[in-house]
Amino acid sequence: MEFIGEFELWMFLAGLGIFLFGMHMMEESIRVLSGAAFKSMIRKYTGSRIKAILSGAFSTAVLQSSSAVSLMVLAFVGAGIMNLVQAISVMIGAKIGTTATAWIVAVFGFKFNIDTFSLPLIGIGGLGIILLAKSPKYVNISRFLVAFGFLFMGLDYMKSSVDQFSENIDPAIFEGYGIILFALAGVVMTAIMQSSSATIAIVLTMLYSGVIQFESGAAMVIGANVGTTVTVLLGSIGGIYTKKQAALSQLIFTVSTAVVALILLPVLIWIVLTGLGFSDNLVLGLALFHTLFNLLGVLIFYPLIPLLAQQVEKWISEKEVTLSRYIHQTNPEIVEAGIEAIRKEIIQQLKLSLGYIHNLMMPTSGKYSGVTYPALENYHAEIFEYYSQLHQHDITAAEHETLEIYLRASRNIMNASMNIRDVQQEVSILKTETTQIHRDVYQSILERIKLCVNTGKLFDYEREEIDSKELQDRVNELIRDINKIDRDIIADCGIASTGHSVKKSELTFLLMLNRLVTQSGRMIAHGMSALVNVSNNQEKKAE
Protein backbone atom coordinates (compact mmCIF):
# COMPACT_ATOMS: atom_id res chain seq x y z
CA MET A 1 0.00 0.00 0.00
CA GLU A 2 2.94 2.32 -0.58
CA PHE A 3 1.04 4.10 -3.35
CA ILE A 4 -1.13 5.84 -0.77
CA GLY A 5 1.81 7.96 0.21
CA GLU A 6 2.09 9.21 -3.36
CA PHE A 7 -1.48 10.47 -3.39
CA GLU A 8 -1.53 14.25 -2.96
CA LEU A 9 -4.49 14.31 -0.56
CA TRP A 10 -4.37 18.02 0.17
CA MET A 11 -4.09 18.89 -3.51
CA PHE A 12 -7.14 16.72 -4.21
CA LEU A 13 -9.14 18.27 -1.34
CA ALA A 14 -8.10 21.77 -2.39
CA GLY A 15 -9.21 21.01 -5.93
CA LEU A 16 -12.52 19.62 -4.70
CA GLY A 17 -13.06 22.66 -2.46
CA ILE A 18 -12.28 25.10 -5.28
CA PHE A 19 -14.55 23.17 -7.64
CA LEU A 20 -17.46 23.19 -5.16
CA PHE A 21 -16.89 26.86 -4.37
CA GLY A 22 -16.92 27.63 -8.09
CA MET A 23 -20.17 25.67 -8.54
CA HIS A 24 -21.81 27.47 -5.61
CA MET A 25 -20.59 30.89 -6.80
CA MET A 26 -21.79 30.19 -10.34
CA GLU A 27 -25.23 29.07 -9.16
CA GLU A 28 -25.60 32.20 -7.03
CA SER A 29 -24.52 34.59 -9.79
CA ILE A 30 -26.83 32.95 -12.35
CA ARG A 31 -29.69 32.95 -9.83
CA VAL A 32 -29.30 36.68 -9.26
CA LEU A 33 -28.90 37.46 -12.95
CA SER A 34 -31.78 35.38 -14.21
CA GLY A 35 -33.22 33.35 -11.35
CA ALA A 36 -36.50 35.26 -11.21
CA ALA A 37 -36.99 34.80 -14.94
CA PHE A 38 -36.47 31.06 -14.61
CA LYS A 39 -38.86 30.89 -11.68
CA SER A 40 -41.42 32.59 -13.89
CA MET A 41 -40.67 30.19 -16.75
CA ILE A 42 -40.93 27.09 -14.56
CA ARG A 43 -44.22 28.38 -13.23
CA LYS A 44 -45.76 29.40 -16.57
CA TYR A 45 -44.48 26.91 -19.15
CA THR A 46 -45.82 23.75 -17.59
CA GLY A 47 -49.18 23.52 -19.34
CA SER A 48 -48.36 20.08 -20.76
CA ARG A 49 -46.02 17.31 -19.67
CA ILE A 50 -43.72 17.94 -22.65
CA LYS A 51 -43.48 21.66 -21.87
CA ALA A 52 -42.86 20.96 -18.18
CA ILE A 53 -40.07 18.46 -18.96
CA LEU A 54 -38.40 20.88 -21.39
CA SER A 55 -38.80 23.72 -18.89
CA GLY A 56 -37.11 21.65 -16.17
CA ALA A 57 -34.30 20.55 -18.51
CA PHE A 58 -33.56 24.04 -19.82
CA SER A 59 -33.72 25.73 -16.42
CA THR A 60 -31.40 23.16 -14.84
CA ALA A 61 -28.92 23.33 -17.73
CA VAL A 62 -28.67 27.12 -17.30
CA LEU A 63 -28.88 27.32 -13.51
CA GLN A 64 -26.47 24.37 -13.19
CA SER A 65 -28.40 22.85 -10.29
CA SER A 66 -31.15 20.24 -10.44
CA SER A 67 -31.55 20.60 -6.66
CA ALA A 68 -32.25 24.35 -6.97
CA VAL A 69 -34.90 23.71 -9.64
CA SER A 70 -36.46 20.85 -7.65
CA LEU A 71 -36.64 23.01 -4.50
CA MET A 72 -38.36 25.75 -6.56
CA VAL A 73 -40.86 23.12 -7.67
CA LEU A 74 -41.51 22.09 -4.06
CA ALA A 75 -42.20 25.73 -3.21
CA PHE A 76 -44.63 26.09 -6.14
CA VAL A 77 -46.43 22.88 -5.20
CA GLY A 78 -46.71 24.00 -1.59
CA ALA A 79 -48.20 27.33 -2.71
CA GLY A 80 -50.75 25.59 -4.92
CA ILE A 81 -49.27 27.18 -8.06
CA MET A 82 -48.31 23.85 -9.63
CA ASN A 83 -50.07 20.47 -9.50
CA LEU A 84 -48.31 17.16 -8.89
CA VAL A 85 -48.23 16.04 -12.54
CA GLN A 86 -46.56 19.32 -13.53
CA ALA A 87 -44.12 19.06 -10.63
CA ILE A 88 -43.09 15.50 -11.51
CA SER A 89 -42.61 16.51 -15.16
CA VAL A 90 -40.37 19.47 -14.28
CA MET A 91 -38.24 17.41 -11.88
CA ILE A 92 -37.87 14.63 -14.47
CA GLY A 93 -36.74 17.24 -16.98
CA ALA A 94 -34.27 18.59 -14.43
CA LYS A 95 -32.50 15.22 -14.49
CA ILE A 96 -31.78 15.72 -18.20
CA GLY A 97 -30.66 19.30 -17.63
CA THR A 98 -28.17 18.33 -14.95
CA THR A 99 -26.19 16.29 -17.51
CA ALA A 100 -25.06 19.58 -19.07
CA THR A 101 -22.41 19.96 -16.36
CA ALA A 102 -20.87 16.60 -17.24
CA TRP A 103 -20.64 17.66 -20.87
CA ILE A 104 -18.99 21.00 -19.98
CA VAL A 105 -16.42 19.28 -17.76
CA ALA A 106 -15.79 16.47 -20.26
CA VAL A 107 -15.38 18.78 -23.25
CA PHE A 108 -13.36 21.61 -21.68
CA GLY A 109 -11.74 20.00 -18.67
CA PHE A 110 -9.64 17.34 -20.35
CA LYS A 111 -8.92 18.56 -23.89
CA PHE A 112 -7.45 21.99 -23.25
CA ASN A 113 -4.72 23.49 -21.13
CA ILE A 114 -6.88 24.70 -18.27
CA ASP A 115 -4.51 27.52 -17.29
CA THR A 116 -4.98 29.17 -20.68
CA PHE A 117 -8.59 30.07 -19.94
CA SER A 118 -9.19 29.53 -16.19
CA LEU A 119 -6.62 32.13 -15.10
CA PRO A 120 -7.84 34.86 -17.50
CA LEU A 121 -11.42 34.23 -16.40
CA ILE A 122 -10.47 34.54 -12.72
CA GLY A 123 -8.33 37.62 -13.41
CA ILE A 124 -10.88 39.48 -15.54
CA GLY A 125 -13.76 38.49 -13.26
CA GLY A 126 -11.89 39.46 -10.10
CA LEU A 127 -11.03 42.90 -11.47
CA GLY A 128 -14.62 43.31 -12.62
CA ILE A 129 -15.94 42.64 -9.11
CA ILE A 130 -13.78 45.48 -7.76
CA LEU A 131 -13.91 48.00 -10.61
CA LEU A 132 -17.61 47.53 -11.43
CA ALA A 133 -18.83 47.39 -7.83
CA LYS A 134 -21.46 50.08 -8.44
CA SER A 135 -23.30 47.93 -10.99
CA PRO A 136 -24.92 44.82 -9.45
CA LYS A 137 -25.50 43.36 -12.91
CA TYR A 138 -21.84 43.57 -13.99
CA VAL A 139 -20.62 42.45 -10.58
CA ASN A 140 -22.62 39.25 -10.95
CA ILE A 141 -21.35 38.74 -14.49
CA SER A 142 -17.83 39.11 -13.08
CA ARG A 143 -18.66 36.65 -10.31
CA PHE A 144 -19.82 34.20 -12.96
CA LEU A 145 -16.48 34.50 -14.80
CA VAL A 146 -14.53 33.92 -11.58
CA ALA A 147 -16.74 30.95 -10.73
CA PHE A 148 -16.24 29.40 -14.16
CA GLY A 149 -12.49 29.81 -13.78
CA PHE A 150 -12.53 28.27 -10.30
CA LEU A 151 -14.57 25.35 -11.63
CA PHE A 152 -11.81 24.29 -13.98
CA MET A 153 -8.95 25.27 -11.68
CA GLY A 154 -10.39 22.90 -9.08
CA LEU A 155 -10.77 20.21 -11.72
CA ASP A 156 -7.13 20.69 -12.73
CA TYR A 157 -5.97 20.25 -9.13
CA MET A 158 -8.00 17.07 -8.75
CA LYS A 159 -6.72 15.75 -12.07
CA SER A 160 -3.08 16.41 -11.11
CA SER A 161 -3.42 14.63 -7.76
CA VAL A 162 -5.21 11.65 -9.28
CA ASP A 163 -2.63 11.43 -12.11
CA GLN A 164 0.06 10.87 -9.47
CA PHE A 165 -2.18 8.39 -7.71
CA SER A 166 -2.80 6.42 -10.92
CA GLU A 167 0.89 5.93 -11.57
CA ASN A 168 1.16 3.79 -8.45
CA ILE A 169 -2.09 1.87 -8.52
CA ASP A 170 -3.39 -1.08 -10.50
CA PRO A 171 -7.04 -0.50 -11.53
CA ALA A 172 -7.57 -4.24 -11.25
CA ILE A 173 -7.83 -3.96 -7.46
CA PHE A 174 -11.28 -2.34 -7.85
CA GLU A 175 -12.68 -5.00 -10.16
CA GLY A 176 -13.81 -7.37 -7.43
CA TYR A 177 -16.17 -4.90 -5.72
CA GLY A 178 -18.98 -5.01 -8.28
CA ILE A 179 -21.10 -2.26 -9.81
CA ILE A 180 -23.52 -2.04 -6.86
CA LEU A 181 -20.74 -0.88 -4.54
CA PHE A 182 -19.63 1.77 -7.03
CA ALA A 183 -23.24 2.93 -7.41
CA LEU A 184 -23.56 3.22 -3.62
CA ALA A 185 -20.30 5.16 -3.52
CA GLY A 186 -21.82 7.64 -5.99
CA VAL A 187 -24.94 8.00 -3.82
CA VAL A 188 -22.93 8.62 -0.64
CA MET A 189 -20.50 11.08 -2.24
CA THR A 190 -23.33 13.13 -3.73
CA ALA A 191 -25.36 13.07 -0.52
CA ILE A 192 -22.35 14.34 1.46
CA MET A 193 -21.24 17.02 -1.01
CA GLN A 194 -24.83 17.96 -2.03
CA SER A 195 -23.63 18.15 -5.63
CA SER A 196 -23.85 15.48 -8.31
CA SER A 197 -21.68 17.72 -10.50
CA ALA A 198 -18.78 17.41 -8.04
CA THR A 199 -19.17 13.63 -7.87
CA ILE A 200 -19.25 13.33 -11.66
CA ALA A 201 -16.18 15.60 -11.97
CA ILE A 202 -14.31 13.26 -9.61
CA VAL A 203 -15.49 10.20 -11.55
CA LEU A 204 -14.42 11.75 -14.87
CA THR A 205 -11.04 12.58 -13.38
CA MET A 206 -10.53 9.02 -12.11
CA LEU A 207 -11.63 7.60 -15.46
CA TYR A 208 -9.33 9.94 -17.39
CA SER A 209 -6.38 8.94 -15.20
CA GLY A 210 -7.15 5.23 -15.55
CA VAL A 211 -7.90 4.67 -11.88
CA ILE A 212 -11.29 3.09 -12.61
CA GLN A 213 -12.81 1.30 -15.58
CA PHE A 214 -15.68 2.73 -17.66
CA GLU A 215 -18.20 0.31 -16.14
CA SER A 216 -17.29 1.39 -12.60
CA GLY A 217 -17.50 5.07 -13.55
CA ALA A 218 -20.90 4.51 -15.16
CA ALA A 219 -22.18 2.86 -11.97
CA MET A 220 -20.93 5.80 -9.88
CA VAL A 221 -22.70 8.27 -12.20
CA ILE A 222 -25.93 6.32 -11.76
CA GLY A 223 -25.47 6.51 -7.99
CA ALA A 224 -24.77 10.26 -8.17
CA ASN A 225 -28.09 10.68 -9.96
CA VAL A 226 -29.86 9.06 -7.00
CA GLY A 227 -27.86 11.07 -4.46
CA THR A 228 -29.32 14.36 -5.70
CA THR A 229 -32.71 13.37 -4.28
CA VAL A 230 -31.38 13.78 -0.73
CA THR A 231 -31.58 17.58 -0.98
CA VAL A 232 -35.18 17.41 -2.19
CA LEU A 233 -36.17 14.92 0.51
CA LEU A 234 -34.65 17.20 3.17
CA GLY A 235 -36.55 20.15 1.65
CA SER A 236 -39.85 18.31 2.05
CA ILE A 237 -39.38 17.45 5.73
CA GLY A 238 -41.94 19.29 7.80
CA GLY A 239 -43.72 20.49 4.66
CA ILE A 240 -47.34 19.99 3.72
CA TYR A 241 -48.52 16.78 2.06
CA THR A 242 -48.13 18.14 -1.51
CA LYS A 243 -44.40 18.79 -0.97
CA LYS A 244 -43.93 15.26 0.36
CA GLN A 245 -45.82 13.86 -2.64
CA ALA A 246 -43.52 15.70 -5.06
CA ALA A 247 -40.37 14.60 -3.21
CA LEU A 248 -41.49 10.96 -3.10
CA SER A 249 -42.34 11.07 -6.81
CA GLN A 250 -38.83 12.25 -7.65
CA LEU A 251 -37.32 9.53 -5.44
CA ILE A 252 -39.39 6.83 -7.20
CA PHE A 253 -38.42 8.12 -10.64
CA THR A 254 -34.72 8.43 -9.80
CA VAL A 255 -34.37 5.07 -8.07
CA SER A 256 -36.40 3.28 -10.77
CA THR A 257 -34.27 4.84 -13.50
CA ALA A 258 -31.13 3.78 -11.62
CA VAL A 259 -32.36 0.18 -11.31
CA VAL A 260 -33.20 0.01 -15.04
CA ALA A 261 -29.83 1.55 -15.94
CA LEU A 262 -27.93 -0.96 -13.76
CA ILE A 263 -29.85 -3.88 -15.26
CA LEU A 264 -29.18 -2.63 -18.80
CA LEU A 265 -25.65 -1.44 -17.99
CA PRO A 266 -23.85 -3.84 -20.39
CA VAL A 267 -26.24 -2.86 -23.21
CA LEU A 268 -25.90 0.88 -22.55
CA ILE A 269 -22.10 0.61 -22.35
CA TRP A 270 -22.04 -1.27 -25.67
CA ILE A 271 -24.21 1.41 -27.28
CA VAL A 272 -21.91 4.20 -26.08
CA LEU A 273 -18.50 2.60 -26.63
CA THR A 274 -19.08 0.33 -29.63
CA GLY A 275 -22.31 1.43 -31.27
CA LEU A 276 -21.54 5.17 -31.11
CA GLY A 277 -17.76 4.76 -31.20
CA PHE A 278 -16.68 6.45 -27.96
CA SER A 279 -14.21 3.72 -26.97
CA ASP A 280 -11.33 6.08 -27.81
CA ASN A 281 -12.73 8.93 -25.71
CA LEU A 282 -14.02 7.45 -22.46
CA VAL A 283 -14.55 10.83 -20.78
CA LEU A 284 -16.96 12.07 -23.45
CA GLY A 285 -18.45 8.58 -23.53
CA LEU A 286 -19.30 8.80 -19.83
CA ALA A 287 -20.96 12.20 -20.32
CA LEU A 288 -23.01 10.65 -23.13
CA PHE A 289 -23.88 7.67 -20.90
CA HIS A 290 -25.12 10.11 -18.22
CA THR A 291 -27.45 11.76 -20.72
CA LEU A 292 -28.50 8.48 -22.32
CA PHE A 293 -29.77 6.70 -19.22
CA ASN A 294 -31.61 9.82 -18.01
CA LEU A 295 -33.34 10.09 -21.40
CA LEU A 296 -34.22 6.41 -21.08
CA GLY A 297 -35.81 7.10 -17.69
CA VAL A 298 -37.86 9.99 -19.11
CA LEU A 299 -39.09 7.86 -22.03
CA ILE A 300 -40.14 5.07 -19.66
CA PHE A 301 -41.89 7.34 -17.17
CA TYR A 302 -43.45 9.88 -19.53
CA PRO A 303 -46.71 7.92 -20.08
CA LEU A 304 -46.73 6.86 -16.42
CA ILE A 305 -46.57 10.36 -14.87
CA PRO A 306 -50.36 10.69 -14.25
CA LEU A 307 -50.48 7.17 -12.77
CA LEU A 308 -47.45 7.92 -10.58
CA ALA A 309 -49.13 11.11 -9.34
CA GLN A 310 -52.35 9.23 -8.52
CA GLN A 311 -50.49 6.50 -6.65
CA VAL A 312 -48.38 8.92 -4.62
CA GLU A 313 -51.52 10.91 -3.73
CA LYS A 314 -52.99 7.69 -2.33
CA TRP A 315 -49.87 6.91 -0.30
CA ILE A 316 -49.56 10.45 1.06
CA SER A 317 -53.11 11.68 1.24
CA GLU A 318 -54.39 15.04 2.40
CA LYS A 319 -55.33 14.98 6.04
CA GLU A 320 -58.79 16.25 6.82
CA VAL A 321 -57.84 19.49 8.47
CA THR A 322 -60.41 22.25 8.72
CA LEU A 323 -59.55 25.87 9.37
CA SER A 324 -63.08 26.69 10.45
CA ARG A 325 -63.68 27.41 14.12
CA TYR A 326 -67.41 28.07 14.28
CA ILE A 327 -69.49 26.91 11.33
CA HIS A 328 -68.72 23.21 11.75
CA GLN A 329 -69.87 23.48 15.37
CA THR A 330 -73.07 25.42 14.68
CA ASN A 331 -76.31 23.78 13.53
CA PRO A 332 -77.48 25.66 10.38
CA GLU A 333 -81.10 25.06 11.41
CA ILE A 334 -80.60 27.77 14.04
CA VAL A 335 -80.29 30.57 11.49
CA GLU A 336 -79.54 33.36 13.97
CA ALA A 337 -76.64 31.39 15.45
CA GLY A 338 -75.51 30.41 11.96
CA ILE A 339 -75.29 34.02 10.82
CA GLU A 340 -73.14 34.93 13.81
CA ALA A 341 -70.97 31.85 13.21
CA ILE A 342 -70.42 32.76 9.55
CA ARG A 343 -69.53 36.36 10.54
CA LYS A 344 -66.86 35.15 12.94
CA GLU A 345 -65.64 32.64 10.36
CA ILE A 346 -65.13 35.32 7.72
CA ILE A 347 -63.16 37.42 10.20
CA GLN A 348 -61.02 34.33 10.78
CA GLN A 349 -60.72 33.93 6.97
CA LEU A 350 -59.64 37.58 6.74
CA LYS A 351 -56.88 37.09 9.31
CA LEU A 352 -55.59 33.85 7.78
CA SER A 353 -55.68 35.32 4.27
CA LEU A 354 -53.76 38.40 5.35
CA GLY A 355 -51.23 36.12 7.06
CA TYR A 356 -50.88 34.11 3.84
CA ILE A 357 -50.42 37.27 1.74
CA HIS A 358 -47.92 38.66 4.24
CA ASN A 359 -45.86 35.44 4.20
CA LEU A 360 -45.99 35.32 0.41
CA MET A 361 -44.65 38.83 -0.06
CA MET A 362 -42.43 39.11 3.04
CA PRO A 363 -41.40 35.51 3.85
CA THR A 364 -38.44 36.44 6.05
CA SER A 365 -40.37 38.42 8.67
CA GLY A 366 -41.80 35.33 10.34
CA LYS A 367 -44.70 37.11 12.01
CA TYR A 368 -47.49 34.81 10.87
CA SER A 369 -48.02 31.07 11.07
CA GLY A 370 -48.06 29.33 7.72
CA VAL A 371 -51.28 28.66 5.81
CA THR A 372 -51.31 27.48 2.19
CA TYR A 373 -53.39 28.66 -0.72
CA PRO A 374 -55.13 25.26 -1.16
CA ALA A 375 -56.13 25.45 2.51
CA LEU A 376 -57.65 28.90 1.93
CA GLU A 377 -59.52 27.56 -1.10
CA ASN A 378 -60.99 24.74 0.99
CA TYR A 379 -61.83 27.19 3.77
CA HIS A 380 -63.71 29.47 1.36
CA ALA A 381 -65.58 26.43 0.02
CA GLU A 382 -66.58 25.45 3.58
CA ILE A 383 -67.95 28.94 4.19
CA PHE A 384 -69.92 28.83 0.94
CA GLU A 385 -71.31 25.36 1.75
CA TYR A 386 -72.47 26.61 5.15
CA TYR A 387 -73.99 29.70 3.50
CA SER A 388 -75.94 27.35 1.19
CA GLN A 389 -77.06 25.21 4.14
CA LEU A 390 -78.46 28.28 5.90
CA HIS A 391 -80.53 29.10 2.81
CA GLN A 392 -82.18 25.69 2.98
CA HIS A 393 -84.06 26.88 6.06
CA ASP A 394 -86.61 29.66 6.51
CA ILE A 395 -84.77 32.97 6.58
CA THR A 396 -86.10 36.51 6.52
CA ALA A 397 -85.32 39.08 3.86
CA ALA A 398 -83.04 40.90 6.31
CA GLU A 399 -81.15 37.68 7.12
CA HIS A 400 -80.80 36.95 3.40
CA GLU A 401 -79.36 40.44 2.85
CA THR A 402 -76.92 39.99 5.72
CA LEU A 403 -75.74 36.63 4.38
CA GLU A 404 -75.25 38.12 0.90
CA ILE A 405 -73.06 40.87 2.35
CA TYR A 406 -71.01 38.32 4.31
CA LEU A 407 -70.58 36.08 1.27
CA ARG A 408 -69.46 39.06 -0.82
CA ALA A 409 -66.88 39.88 1.85
CA SER A 410 -65.62 36.28 1.82
CA ARG A 411 -65.36 36.28 -1.99
CA ASN A 412 -63.47 39.60 -1.98
CA ILE A 413 -60.97 38.26 0.53
CA MET A 414 -60.49 35.05 -1.49
CA ASN A 415 -60.11 36.96 -4.76
CA ALA A 416 -57.47 39.20 -3.22
CA SER A 417 -55.52 36.16 -1.99
CA MET A 418 -55.68 34.59 -5.46
CA ASN A 419 -54.52 37.80 -7.17
CA ILE A 420 -51.56 38.25 -4.87
CA ARG A 421 -50.60 34.59 -5.31
CA ASP A 422 -50.71 35.00 -9.09
CA VAL A 423 -48.38 38.03 -9.11
CA GLN A 424 -45.98 36.80 -6.44
CA GLN A 425 -43.33 35.77 -8.96
CA GLU A 426 -43.65 39.06 -10.86
CA VAL A 427 -43.19 40.96 -7.60
CA SER A 428 -40.08 38.91 -6.82
CA ILE A 429 -38.66 40.05 -10.17
CA LEU A 430 -39.01 43.69 -9.02
CA LYS A 431 -36.92 42.91 -5.96
CA THR A 432 -33.88 42.16 -8.13
CA GLU A 433 -34.21 45.25 -10.35
CA THR A 434 -32.02 48.29 -9.79
CA THR A 435 -33.94 51.15 -11.48
CA GLN A 436 -35.74 53.65 -9.25
CA ILE A 437 -39.22 53.09 -10.68
CA HIS A 438 -38.95 49.33 -10.12
CA ARG A 439 -37.87 49.88 -6.51
CA ASP A 440 -40.71 52.38 -5.99
CA VAL A 441 -43.35 49.96 -7.28
CA TYR A 442 -41.91 47.14 -5.18
CA GLN A 443 -41.92 49.24 -1.99
CA SER A 444 -45.44 50.49 -2.72
CA ILE A 445 -46.68 46.89 -2.95
CA LEU A 446 -45.13 46.00 0.40
CA GLU A 447 -46.54 49.17 1.93
CA ARG A 448 -50.09 48.33 0.81
CA ILE A 449 -49.77 44.79 2.14
CA LYS A 450 -48.63 46.12 5.53
CA LEU A 451 -51.51 48.62 5.65
CA CYS A 452 -54.04 45.85 5.02
CA VAL A 453 -52.44 43.56 7.60
CA ASN A 454 -52.34 46.28 10.27
CA THR A 455 -55.98 47.22 9.70
CA GLY A 456 -56.96 43.55 9.76
CA LYS A 457 -55.51 43.24 13.26
CA LEU A 458 -58.33 45.48 14.52
CA PHE A 459 -60.97 42.87 13.66
CA ASP A 460 -61.56 40.62 16.63
CA TYR A 461 -64.44 38.19 16.86
CA GLU A 462 -63.88 37.42 20.53
CA ARG A 463 -63.88 40.84 22.14
CA GLU A 464 -64.79 44.40 21.28
CA GLU A 465 -61.70 46.60 21.59
CA ILE A 466 -62.87 49.23 19.10
CA ASP A 467 -66.38 50.41 18.24
CA SER A 468 -67.88 49.98 14.78
CA LYS A 469 -67.67 53.66 13.84
CA GLU A 470 -63.98 53.88 14.68
CA LEU A 471 -63.36 50.63 12.84
CA GLN A 472 -65.16 51.94 9.76
CA ASP A 473 -63.09 55.11 9.94
CA ARG A 474 -59.92 53.02 9.91
CA VAL A 475 -61.16 51.00 6.93
CA ASN A 476 -62.02 54.23 5.08
CA GLU A 477 -58.53 55.48 5.87
CA LEU A 478 -57.10 52.25 4.45
CA ILE A 479 -59.04 52.76 1.20
CA ARG A 480 -57.80 56.37 0.95
CA ASP A 481 -54.19 55.27 1.55
CA ILE A 482 -54.41 52.53 -1.08
CA ASN A 483 -55.86 54.94 -3.61
CA LYS A 484 -53.22 57.57 -2.86
CA ILE A 485 -50.37 55.10 -3.30
CA ASP A 486 -51.96 53.99 -6.57
CA ARG A 487 -52.08 57.60 -7.85
CA ASP A 488 -48.48 58.21 -6.75
CA ILE A 489 -47.21 55.16 -8.63
CA ILE A 490 -49.12 56.14 -11.77
CA ALA A 491 -47.53 59.61 -11.52
CA ASP A 492 -44.06 58.08 -11.03
CA CYS A 493 -44.57 55.87 -14.09
CA GLY A 494 -45.54 58.99 -16.04
CA ILE A 495 -42.28 60.67 -15.03
CA ALA A 496 -40.30 57.54 -15.95
CA SER A 497 -42.04 57.47 -19.31
CA THR A 498 -41.20 61.11 -20.00
CA GLY A 499 -37.58 60.57 -19.05
CA HIS A 500 -37.34 57.36 -21.15
CA SER A 501 -35.66 55.61 -18.22
CA VAL A 502 -37.72 52.45 -18.71
CA LYS A 503 -38.93 50.51 -21.77
CA LYS A 504 -42.57 50.85 -22.85
CA SER A 505 -43.22 47.13 -22.36
CA GLU A 506 -41.74 47.34 -18.87
CA LEU A 507 -43.87 50.39 -18.11
CA THR A 508 -47.02 48.46 -19.05
CA PHE A 509 -45.89 45.57 -16.85
CA LEU A 510 -45.46 47.93 -13.87
CA LEU A 511 -48.80 49.65 -14.42
CA MET A 512 -50.71 46.38 -14.73
CA LEU A 513 -48.98 44.93 -11.67
CA ASN A 514 -49.76 48.09 -9.68
CA ARG A 515 -53.40 47.94 -10.82
CA LEU A 516 -53.81 44.32 -9.74
CA VAL A 517 -52.28 44.97 -6.32
CA THR A 518 -54.46 48.08 -5.91
CA GLN A 519 -57.57 46.08 -6.79
CA SER A 520 -56.59 43.37 -4.31
CA GLY A 521 -56.13 45.95 -1.54
CA ARG A 522 -59.50 47.50 -2.34
CA MET A 523 -61.19 44.07 -2.27
CA ILE A 524 -59.75 43.38 1.17
CA ALA A 525 -60.83 46.82 2.40
CA HIS A 526 -64.35 46.41 0.95
CA GLY A 527 -64.57 43.00 2.59
CA MET A 528 -63.68 44.63 5.91
CA SER A 529 -66.17 47.42 5.26
CA ALA A 530 -68.97 44.94 4.57
CA LEU A 531 -68.38 43.24 7.91
CA VAL A 532 -68.40 46.58 9.73
CA ASN A 533 -71.55 47.86 7.96
CA VAL A 534 -73.50 44.74 8.89
CA SER A 535 -72.44 45.26 12.50
CA ASN A 536 -73.58 48.91 12.31
CA ASN A 537 -76.97 47.92 10.89
CA GLN A 538 -77.44 45.31 13.58
CA GLU A 539 -76.62 47.85 16.28
CA LYS A 540 -79.14 50.35 14.84
CA LYS A 541 -81.87 47.72 14.71
CA ALA A 542 -81.14 46.75 18.30
CA GLU A 543 -81.63 50.39 19.34
pLDDT at 542 over 80: no
pLDDT of residue 81 exceeding 70: no
* pTM score above 0.75: no
Complete DSSP assignment for 504-540: HHHHHHHHHHHHHHHHHHHHHHHHHHHHHHHHHHHHH
**Is the pLDDT score of 167 beyond 90?**
no
Question: Smallest Cα–Cα separation from 342: which of 281, 391, 269, 306?
Answer: 391
Residues 6+ apart with CB under 8 A from 437: 492, 493, 496, 501, 502, 510
Count CB-CB contacts under 10 A for residue 317: 10
Give the mean model confidence (pLDDT) for residues 504-533: 90
For the ranges 52-56, 172-176, 276-280, 286-290, the lowest mean pLDDT is seen at: 172-176
Measure the CA–CA gap between 216 and 227, rounded to whole angstroms. Answer: 16
Average pLDDT, the chain: 84
Confidence class of residue 393 from pLDDT cuts 50, 70 and 90? confident
Average pLDDT over every residue of 390-397: 88
Which of these, 352, 22, 319, lies nearest to 154 by C-alpha position? 22
Assess whether pLDDT exceeds 70 at residue 281: yes
pLDDT at residue 239, as a whole number: 64
Query: Contact 35/189 with Cβ under 8 angstroms?
Result: no
Tell me the pLDDT tens digit for each residue of 345-354.
999 999 999 9
pLDDT of 318 reads: 66
344: left (phi over 0), alpha (psi -120 to 50) or beta: alpha
Domains of the chain from N-terminus onward: 3-315 (no CATH), 327-542 (1.20.58.220)
Let me know if 77 is exposed, middle or buried by CB neighbors in 10 A (0-12, 13-18, 19+).
Answer: buried
How far, in Å, CA of 410 to CA of 81, rounded? 21
Cβ contact 15:163 at 8 Å: no
* Residue 364's pLDDT band (cuts 50, 70, 90): low
The H or E element spanning position 199 is: helix 196-208
Amino acid letter for position 324: S
Q: What is the mean pLDDT of residues 382-394?
A: 91
Give CA torsion, residues 264, 292, 282, 178, to 10 deg. -30
Q: Residue 136 pLDDT > 50, yes or no?
A: yes
For the stretch 406-443, pLDDT in tens is: 999 999 999 999 999 988 878 887 887 778 898 899 99
In a 10 Å sphere around its CB, with 0-12 CB exposed, 13-18 middle and 19+ buried, how is residue 504 labelled? exposed
